[in-house]
A and B are shown apart, each in its own frame.
Chain A
Amino acid sequence: MKDRYSDLLNRYTGPAKKIIVSFHGEMDQDRVSMLSYTAEHQLETQGARRTTIKKTFNILIELLQNVLLHSASQEIGKPFYFLLAENMEDYVAICANVVTNEAAKKIQETLDIIKKMNEKQLKNHYLEVLSNDQYSAKGGAGLGLITVALKCNNNFTFNCTPLDEKVSLFEMTSIISDK
């Protein structure tokens, strides 16, 4: 995970790129707050549009709380890495954590379905899930990934890399336009 994080930092260092917030370590609720408020403050300082700041804050909370709720329990301390960067005229939010292979399969299936939806379908899907408001055993309700997709106009990518026979590294990238 450390190597991947280093690669990521290198990838977002250079002309027309700027790292706004980045972190590699263990996750807890204070980190969710600390990283999202820091990102919000930094975006305000550099004059991002108010709607962009709101959208980004929304996406960051969902990505970071997903780490908190859905990291593989065999991973002590819920390791993750996170980066918010400016890339040309867009903002890029990347978050990765270790999930069970079973969870990875489920996330991939969910995101494959979401990715094919247009805005109207996404909104309807959101309302459908909101109508069936059962929490999963871990406290999530399935709305988080749809919320991320809605906030970034479905401009996201993801990948799951198996680390061994039990767990995979799940990485999600959302691109937020500041136009």
Chain B
Amino acid sequence: MEKLIIKESLNNPKVILDPAKKRYEISGKSFPENAKSFYQPVIDWVKTVPVTSPEKIRLSFMLDYISSSSVISVKQVLSKIKARNTEGADIEVQWYYDPSDPDIKELGEEYEKVIGIKLQFIERSI
């Protein structure tokens, strides 16, 4: 499991997947031109999470805004996490939302419904 860091830009979120620091986070606004290729390294990273003697990983999604094409890509990331957990990994997804903005929380609930993954909902104020 290598470190994966992607810097935040005007249209893509910050990605920090750092096993040495035990810091796992995707945060910011997500509307890259090509969401599929932006999230592919994240999917590839999830595939490398150990499934034997796994250590718990708490991956935080702290998204302020997400475009429709990113919605599909994040769904693919979450589906991969669910599959990896089924194989033995222990990844807990923490889904942060701003209570004054119902969209992000609703999206998390939709993912739970469509993928069948359990998310930890955590309130935050922006």
Contact = CB atoms under 8 A, between A and B. Distances in A.
B67 interface: yes
A62 B68 contact: yes
Given A61-B67, A135-B36, A32 B31 contact: yes
Query: Looking at chain A, what size class is its interface with the partner chain?
Result: 20 to 34
B65 A139 contact: no
Interface in B56-98: 65, 67-69, 71-72, 75-76
B33 A127 contact: no
B100 interface: yes
A150 to B, nearest CB: 10
B76 A143 contact: no
Interface in A46-65: 50-51, 54, 57-58, 61-62, 65
B110 interface: yes
- Label chain B's interface by main secondary structure: helix
A54 B101 contact: yes
Contacts of A29: 11, 32-33
B33 A68 contact: yes
A65 B69 contact: yes
B48 interface: no
Contacts of A30: 10
A135 B72 contact: yes
B114 A127 contact: yes
Interface of B: 10-11, 31-36, 65, 67-69, 71-72, 75-76, 100-101, 103, 110, 113-114
14 contacts: A32-B11, A32-B33, A33-B10, A33-B11, A33-B31, A58-B103, A130-B72, A130-B75, A131-B114, A133-B76, A139-B69, A140-B69, A141-B69, A143-B69
